[in-house]
Chains A and B, each alone.
Chain A
Amino acid sequence: AQTVTQSQPEMSVQEAETVTLSCTYDTSESDYYLFWYKQPPSRQMILVIRQEAYKQQNATENRFSVNFQKAAKSFSLKISDSQLGDAAMYFCAYRRSGANSKLTFGKGITLSVRP
């Protein structure tokens, strides 16, 4: 069974600084997708960034980038130039390739941003 581990329950970053959120996963599959989702307080979950396992290049979306280490089964999220609006819970999620496969989430990490 696939598992996703986020070992840091909380992190804090100064506004405008850079922070990295860690995630590891376990799978026997070779073709899969990894995601980072953001869930602000009392608001809906939105996709931050997606990485296809077959791509060696790390995904980037504006201030968000990932460090995908397939052999180590590690998938960290880097947030550059942190903003107050980045404060939220962040979930790492895994999904194997295929139309009907489910998302498996980690426990999440609470990120606070200090002004």
Chain B
Amino acid sequence: EAGVAQSPRYKIIEKRQSVAFWCNPISGHATLYWYQQILGQGPKLLIQFQNNGVVDDSQLPKDRFSAERLKGVDSTLKIQPAKLEDSAVYLCASSSSAGLSYEQYFGPGTRLTVT
């Protein structure tokens, strides 16, 4: 079974530029999550999708961040314009509705550096 795929793995941009990250979850997983992990901290949920609908985006800075999952499969997270404090690893995870614990499987992440 293929894992969660993310691209790119690394990205360096200047502040005020735009950037987009892509995630392809495990096949059949209905739920997809985007986390932001700042260096030295635990991941923080940015947005959660159930199929192509948003379940939770309460911690997404909507003035600059946007995300979509149009066909209920892969997803794109965009930052426009980027700030220095957006430097972090962006993790994508997915889970199935099968099983009680709804275990989340994580991708390798995209490390963003904003200069």
Contacts and interface: CB of A to CB of B under 8 A. Distances in A.
Interface of A: 4, 33, 43-47, 50, 52, 91, 93, 95, 97, 99-100, 102-103, 105-108
A107 B106 contact: no
A103 B45 contact: yes
Given A45-B91, A107-B40, A107-B42, A100 B55 contact: yes
A88 to B, nearest CB: 13
15 contacts: A43-B108, A44-B109, A45-B43, A46-B106, A50-B101, A50-B103, A52-B100, A95-B101, A97-B100, A100-B56, A102-B48, A105-B42, A106-B42, A107-B41, A108-B40
Contact of A47 (B3, B40, B103, B108): B103
Interface of B is mostly: loop
B88 to A, nearest CB: 14
B50 A105 contact: no
Interface string B43-56: 11100101000011
B45 A100 contact: no
Interface residues of B, number: 24
Contact of B56 (A95, A102, A108): A102
A43 B56 CA distance: 26
A46 to B, nearest CB: 7
A102 B102 contact: no
B97 interface: yes
B104 interface: yes
A95 B40 CA distance: 21
A108 B42 contact: yes
Contact of A44 (B31, B56, B108): B108
B25 interface: no
B44 A100 contact: no
Contacts of B56: 100, 102
